[in-house]
A and B are shown apart, each in its own frame.
Chain A
């Protein structure tokens, strides 16, 4: 559960976006599983912040401890070479109610992206 600071080059791109969690139970078991699995397919370090708690997006256990209910706004931050792709894909997944993570990564609307 502890946040570990990864040593990453400052030159790496950082992408952030805030998204709203939907679904019946919020970020429950199945969504957390799909989400962390998708996060793991990227090289970037990805963090999720909810109510000032920051966790590793690639850890299903950490994701679950957030207890993000339906309607919760969570902030995604990715740092790494594929940060842009990672945020697009993850945001898309949440917007699609965690359905079909394998679908092609279309370029999502850049709402909230810096």
Chain B
């Protein structure tokens, strides 16, 4: 048994078969062969090894010719490895005697070597593990050929283990069969974390190198509460975790009963509960869990993991799919909220020492008008198919908001002239996620139709903490009194001017904060689909008066710790059995 500690980014426990995804998205199943297939499979293995050797030989000759012996040496070494008689014996032995599939046998043998190299002291040898992975990939490519199994073709429940899931890989996953995610890199704000939350499956990121220790098909436990991944768990550990999974299931069944019931407090206030999504496919999960609409549609996925800008049609197809699926329910589309470093089509900013304070989000959009206009046109066109609203992220000044609205007005005019249908009364709002925006709320209220508080960035900019920096991540907390005050100011200013305000950060997906937020006057929240039932349950169990008391008391406390302790106590009073 091997316990690996990472960062918990999405709660819950999952037990299942490992699906190891390498950089090329290979899936190596641990498949056992029927006895009579062994000879044929051995021949297939032989052919793949020979084909791989021939490839390397060609590479070697080409490099030797172009660059000289020195550069060709690495290929000579790879060739020597591919023809290594011990390796061939070991792999053939696993196929012949243990009936492993050639894919699994190759991967297993080579990974043992990679691990042995990594254990040798000194950087030089541990880097040789990469040579092994290179060879592994080459053999597998030849073995799998046209039969190469795509992530999208997974047909049984698995836990996905990867170095880092790219957006296109995540998009290819079939959510029906993915029970949990674990990655070597990444932090709380990483793509994997957001996707896992969206799917409502346990996830652990930032584990560090561990993929060499695991082969596809082995039983693995992902503990998203403790941020732990357990390889080859022993019987006792397995039993304990199976029990936890059972408990999770019974809680989920309880929450399921809430689906058709409204999020209404005991004192009769109807709370709007919306879902956050990243992919059109997540709409179904929002509907299944009884969400009132989409409070945050992150559009970054459309831009990531590609070498060109998404076309207006690609934007339009995604947005109209969501709009149509949600029918009359509101869908809030947030415009591009990325840093320049994440977009392959834009040059890397030259002097980006503080990316979070740099050229990102609305600033990037305003500097790349063509990119921005394309997205706005698509949103407008999609608005003809449903109840779409547009939201600008990271607004800090009124000037930025006005510029963004001007680009929007231009796009509207163009569509008008071209006779393309769109919703002329589409509501336009902004995120409240910079302290500057909070302070200027009394002026912003005259220029937007709605607000949404983005707590993730608001906490970061308020406390000046980068939560992906592990040295200071512990300072990052939404329960800090300063954050509570900014939220209070935002809600009061919006209410005073009678402009709707919602919240879409991770804070409102945590049941610990629900009473506080209701008490501060918030009546609309947008959370990951998985959190909808839980938050609804809290709403349905409390009165506004009770919540106002909680809010008042919280605002009088002077430390994040005291606030947290107090809020946990209050929640426990309402649900003695609630796992906080």
Q: Are B87 and A25 in contact (CB under 8 A)?
A: no
**CB within 8 Å of B: which of A54-84?**
56, 58-62, 64-65, 67, 69
B85: chain A residues at CB < 8 Å are 56, 58-59
Proximity string of chain A (1-38) to chain B, C-beta cutoff 8 Å, 1 when within and 0 when not: 11010000000000000000000010011101100110
Q: List 12 A-B contacts (CB under 8 A).
A: A1-B90, A28-B124, A33-B77, A37-B76, A56-B86, A60-B80, A61-B81, A61-B84, A64-B113, A65-B120, A67-B120, A67-B125
CA distance A65 to B86 in the complex (A): 13
Given the known interface contacts A1-B86, A65-B116, the answer about A32 and B77 at a Cβ–Cβ threshold of 8 Å is yes
Instruction: Point out the residues of chain B lying under 8 angstroms from A69, CB to CB.
Output: 122
Q: How far is the CA of A23 from the CA of B535 in the complex (A)?
A: 65
With CB as the reference atom, state the residue of chain B lying closest to A37. B80
Contact indicator B73/A59 (Cβ below 8 Å): no
Tell me what chain B mostly uses at the interface: helix, strand, loop, or mixed: helix
CB contact list, A90-111 vs B, under 8 A = none
Number of A-B pairs, beta carbon distance below 8 Å = 59
Contact B87 A61 (CB under 8 A): yes
B-side residues, CB < 8 A to A, are: 73-74, 76-77, 80-81, 84-87, 89-90, 112-113, 116-117, 120-122, 124-125, 128, 131
**Residue in contact with A33 in the complex, picked from B73, B89, B120, CB distance below 8 Å:** B73
Q: How far is the CA of A64 from the CA of B84 in the complex (A)?
A: 12
Determine the distance from Cα of A69 to Cα of B124 in the docked complex, in whole angstroms: 11
Q: What CA separation (Å) do A7 and B466 show in the bound complex?
A: 64
Q: In the complex, are the beta carbons of A33 and B116 less than 8 A apart?
A: no
In the bound complex, how far is the Cα of B131 from the Cα of A31, in angstroms?
15
Q: Are B86 and A59 in contact (CB under 8 A)?
A: yes
On chain A, the residues within 8 Å of B80 by CB distance are 33, 36-37, 60
* Complex contact B73–A62 (CB within 8 A): no
Q: Identify which of A29, A36, A67 gathers the most chain B CB atoms within 10 Å of its CB.
A: A29
Chain B neighbourhood of A59, CB < 8 A = 84-87
Question: Nearest CB to that of A69 among chain B residues?
Answer: B122
Q: Which of B81, B90, B116 makes the CB contact (< 8 A) with A60? A: B81
Give the residue name and chain of the A residue nearest to B117 (CB): A64
Are the CB atoms of A64 and B86 closer together than 8 Å? no
Contacts of A60 in B (CB 8 A): 77, 80-81, 84
